[in-house]
Structure 1
Amino acid sequence: MTIIKNVLVRFFNERFFDQAAQTAYYLLLSMFPFFLFILSLLSLFPVNEEMLLTFLRPFTPVESFAIIEENVQAVLSKGHGNVLYASLIAAFWVTSMAVQSLARSLDLANGYVRRYAFWKVLIRDLGVTLLFMLVIPLSLFLPIIEKALFRVVTYYDTIEEWQGWFYIWPNVKWGLGSLFLFLFFLLFYKVVPTGKMKLKEAFPGAFFSAFGWQLFSLVFGGYVSNVDYTRLYGQLSGIILLVIWFYLTAVIILLSGLLNAEWRKSSDRKRRRVT
């Protein structure tokens, strides 16, 4: 409980909610160039745009998902081969700003001081950005893995006839998605901060981000579906909800970073007592 209390106190006292707003802005700014880049790459792999939309649908508010789907279809209708390089440059630069914002926030959470020259830090952040631009598209292969696993498991017809199968298979699909998110956030909290962090020190934040973000998206999606935001914002309701969703996503990411920092401090104190 002390760790959770310290995380919440630091989040408000050190104004991490302001950092979350900055990060949300960069994430929103980078979203469409990044999608454009991913869609441009789809022709090179055995995936299609429906897989991308299927992966995003469970986590995105309905009104916001409609905006994303509309833009995806608009890109595909015009063809995407000729926008690959332009979208790559735009996505890379804007996404790097989001990564730099997150790196500064996580350094602050962990008490790291950036002693390196600006250009060295910039090159490092650009390298981290490139890494995640390569890792994130791997999520598109989850539906392929799910289909392959489904075919293996249902090789014998008797399994499909078993009534419990309809309850187990959705949990298997959820487990695969959760495992990917956990590994993604584990890598994220390991490499984004400029200071050295052991892999085991990133476990608490990765776990909280992976499952907390899914729970938040589920609750937020249920709330949005029962509240008519069009009366307040009209046609802008989808964009407003997308901004809120990105902001709360950034809040979870930064809370997880603080959780890692406080968990490590607590472990260090216990270690010193023992010695």
Structure 2
Amino acid sequence: MLRLLLFGRQVYLKYSMDEMSVYAAQASFFIIMAAFPFFMVLLALIQVAPMIHEADLLRFLLPAIPGRFQGLLIYLLDSLHSDSPAALISVTALAAVWSAAKGMLGIEKGLNRVFGVTSPRNYILRRALCSVYTLAFSLMCVTSLALLVFGSFLQEMLLKWFPALSYLSGMISLGRGLVMFIMLMIFFTAIYTALPHRRLSICGQIPGAMFSAAGWALTSLAFSVYFRYFGTYAVTYGSLTAVILFMLWLYVSICILFVGAEINWFLLFYKEKIMSIKENGLP
């Protein structure tokens, strides 16, 4: 237990020395800038889908969001139906990818800082790679929030439509959390392996990925509990509560991502130190 506490203190000190909170804030800012264009693109794509109608979409979404935001959702859908979806998709998609890729560049810089390296790649190549990772990162964010924040609502709707599955309610909840944990762990392992400009083994990134996946799951769960039980008591920020909470959730989640990277760095450092001692024949 003492060793674990000492290890945690070392991770915290290096995290502070590397100024990871600055990189987390930079990445969060640009990803948040891209969140609203991504949302507009999603709604525009739904608009052009032949099998989805606005009434059906509202019937599904309205019970899942706080009452204060329902009017805004209806206004956005009405505005989308009055505009050209093709033009909206092209413009907002470009804005979203540009902003979010800038955020992923911040994550790349932070991971390079953790491992003490710099990236010699040219800017265009880095931006292109970060755009690809941005799409995967956005998918993980949406999946994480959907499985925990809206997961309870979706589970209730499923049990309402299929009452015979009520005895499987506990298994559904457990399976939902397990699927999200595995998806996040795979994603973080890929991020830790691919983004830093240093050759790293996939297996060596799993401990930090497991920590980050668990941290993201707990953070999203706390976010879900607040929305479910305390969402109506948002006095400080009023109608901006959801936006503020999303910003806070994203910032904390990226901080957790960097903590996982610091854990992997220490494990790699200890491994290389042990190998060096063995090669030099020291006891």
- Structure 1 length-normalised TM: 0.73
1:137–1:253 distance in 2 versus 1, CA, 3 Å: closer
Deviation at 1:93, TM superposition (A): 0.6
Where does residue 153 of structure 1 map in the other structure? none
d(CA) in 2 for partners of 1:85 and 1:270? 53
Q: Structure 2 matches for 1:1-275, cutoff 5 A?
A: 1=4, 2-42=6-46, 74-77=75-78, 78-79=80-81, 80-114=85-119, 116=120, 120-133=122-135, 136-137=138-139, 163=167, 165-223=168-226, 225-226=229-230, 230-275=234-279
Q: Matched residue pairs, number?
A: 248
Provide structure 2 residue ranges, at least 5 long, that are not aligned to the other structure: 148-163
1:99–1:73 distance in 2 versus 1, CA, 3 Å: farther
Asked if 1 retains the 8 angstrom alpha-carbon contact of 2:97 and 2:134, the reply is no
Deviation at 1:131, TM superposition (A): 4.2
Q: Which has the larger radius of gyration?
A: 2
One-letter code of the match for 2:264? N
Question: 1:86-108 CA deviation, whole Å, 9 max, x = no partner?
Answer: 12211111011101111111100
Asked if 1 retains the 8 angstrom alpha-carbon contact of 2:34 and 2:99, the reply is yes
DSSP-derived class of the 2:235 partner: helix
d(CA) in 2 for partners of 1:104 and 1:230? 35
DSSP-derived class of the 1:113 partner: coil
Asked if 1 retains the 8 angstrom alpha-carbon contact of 2:27 and 2:107, the reply is yes
1:217–1:272 distance in 2 versus 1, CA, 3 Å: same
d(CA) in 1 for partners of 2:90 and 2:126? 22
Question: 1:82-130 CA deviation, whole Å, 9 max, x = no partner?
Answer: 311112211111011101111111100111123x26xx14422322322
d(CA) in 1 for partners of 2:95 and 2:263? 32
Deviation at 1:197, TM superposition (A): 2.0
Question: 1:133-173 CA deviation, whole Å, 9 max, x = no partner?
Answer: 16754877x99xxxxxxxxxxxxxxxx5794x332222123
1:170–1:272 distance in 2 versus 1, CA, 3 Å: same
DSSP-derived class of the 1:261 partner: helix
d(CA) in 2 for partners of 1:135 and 1:235? 27
Provide structure 1 residue ranges, at least 5 long, that are not aligned to the other structure: 144-159
RMSD of aligned residue pairs (Cα, Å) = 3.8
d(CA) in 2 for partners of 1:3 and 1:241? 31
1:267–1:40 distance in 2 versus 1, CA, 3 Å: farther
d(CA) in 2 for partners of 1:238 and 1:218? 15
d(CA) in 2 for partners of 1:66 and 1:247? 24
Question: 1:225-246 CA deviation, whole Å, 9 max, x = no partner?
Answer: 4487633233333332222222
Asked if 1 retains the 8 angstrom alpha-carbon contact of 2:189 and 2:202, the reply is yes
Report % sequence identity.
19
DSSP-derived class of the 1:231 partner: coil
d(CA) in 2 for partners of 1:137 and 1:235? 26
Deviation at 1:74, TM superposition (A): 4.7
1:44–1:183 distance in 2 versus 1, CA, 3 Å: farther
DSSP-derived class of the 2:237 partner: helix
Where does residue 159 of structure 2 map in the other structure? none
